[in-house]
Amino acid sequence: MTSQDGGRRGGIDLARVSKTFPSGAVGIADISLTVRPGEFVTFLGPSGSGKTTTLNTIAGFVAPTSGAVHIDGRDVTRLPPNRRNLGMVFQNYALFPHMTVEANVAFGMHGRGVAPAEVRRRVAEALELVRLEGMGARRPKELSGGQQQRVALARALVYRPPILLMDEPLGALDKQLRDQMQVEIARLHRDLGTTFLFVTHDQGEALALSDRIVLFESGRVSQVGSPEELYERPKSRFVAEFIGESTSFTGVLRDSSAIEWGNTLLQGRNPNGIPVGRHASLVVRPEHLRISGTGGPRGSDNRVFGIVSELAYLGSHRRVGVKLADGTRVVLEERGENAEPLRFGAEVTVCWSPEHAVLVTEAGA
């Protein structure tokens, strides 16, 4: 194999990588994936789906049962972590409480033969990069959670690694700090051009930060694509329901773009090429649903009938839940200027355009 992108560093290739633990539990199964130099790729999925096991296999903390890991064209499958030239940021920061910020950032460089003056220069550069100038003499207990996370980032970046691995780095922060750190991580990626591999179970983080998302399910990759691709063109019901909120209607595909749901034909796009006669789900997002109001639905619209079971004012929009006759719960979002008066128990018609609905299989193809 050769280095990707004209020799630029930071490319990763996984070739049919699997990991079975001594207990017999399967961590990951037959995963093949290419990460291009400079990409921001997020491993997303529920707990136990294999995302952290895959990251640890790339880092060298977990040895695969089969398959190969290549970094910049070099087979590193059997190399220890310290010979892979990777930066790593953990959820718990792992800072030395008795050391200053500067000493924490510099800690791993002293055994690498770096001259003291160069160590000081790199530490100052790394702290400036994460916007902690002037805080080098402080100790971790004197810092906020967000500042401690920045120290962990500086420590990982001080080596100038071509690849930075981050395992749920924002999980211990409150929402406001998480939002702030998302902005900082995105800025660092733009400024450095380093390959970022980011693990999270938070779909919002994945959508906000990623060039591409790798969605894991039960040790396998369900779908890989841009945030827009996974949100607008999911390949399975699992993907549709994990990435954002959605309502699904399941039935048999009666023609290339319609399922029979009860006694109703519901139309949608079929980008996955599901054949006629197969069971499929029609998925629609809350922002594409609307309550039939003035003028009624358009002739081509899908429509279902139910009663209002939930009303919640959320500032920028109103959340409406509608319970259908078969028990299906439909959730929609209405912007304030479009919302009409509603009451609990009111009978309503919910409409949406076929172009805003997508047909998916129950499981990935």
Q: How many CB atoms lie within 10 A of CB 206?
A: 25
Domain 237-360 has CATH 2.40.400.10: no
Fold of 5-232: Rossmann fold (3.40.50)
- Angle between helix 175-192 and helix 145-157 axes, rounded to 10 deg: 20
pLDDT band at 292 (very low <50, low <70, confident <90, very high): confident
* Mean pLDDT of the 26-30 span: 96
Tell me what pLDDT residue 294 has.
45
pLDDT band at 321 (very low <50, low <70, confident <90, very high): very high
CA angle 177, 183, 106 (to 5 degrees): 80
Tell me what pLDDT residue 102 has.
95
What are the structural domain ranges in the chain? 5-232, 237-360
Region of poorest pLDDT, from 68-77, 253-262, 340-349: 340-349
Classify the phi-psi angles of 100: left when phi > 0, otherwise alpha if psi is within -120 to 50, otherwise beta.
beta
Tell me what pLDDT residue 146 has.
87
Tell me what pLDDT residue 111 has.
67
Q: Which residues on adjacent β-strands are paired with residue 81? A: none
Tell me what pLDDT residue 187 has.
92
SS3 184: helix
Tracing tokens 């406001």 back to the chain, one arrives at 176
Is 50 exceeded by the pLDDT of residue 365? Answer: no
pLDDT band at 297 (very low <50, low <70, confident <90, very high): low
* Mean pLDDT of the 291-318 span: 81
Is 80 exceeded by the pLDDT of residue 299? Answer: no
pLDDT band at 114 (very low <50, low <70, confident <90, very high): confident
Rounded CA separation 340/360 (Å) = 32
In this structure, what token pair is assigned to residue 360? 């998916």
Region of poorest pLDDT, from 169-178, 241-250, 318-327: 169-178
Specify whether the CB–CB gap between 59 and 81 falls below 8 A: yes
pLDDT band at 4 (very low <50, low <70, confident <90, very high): very low
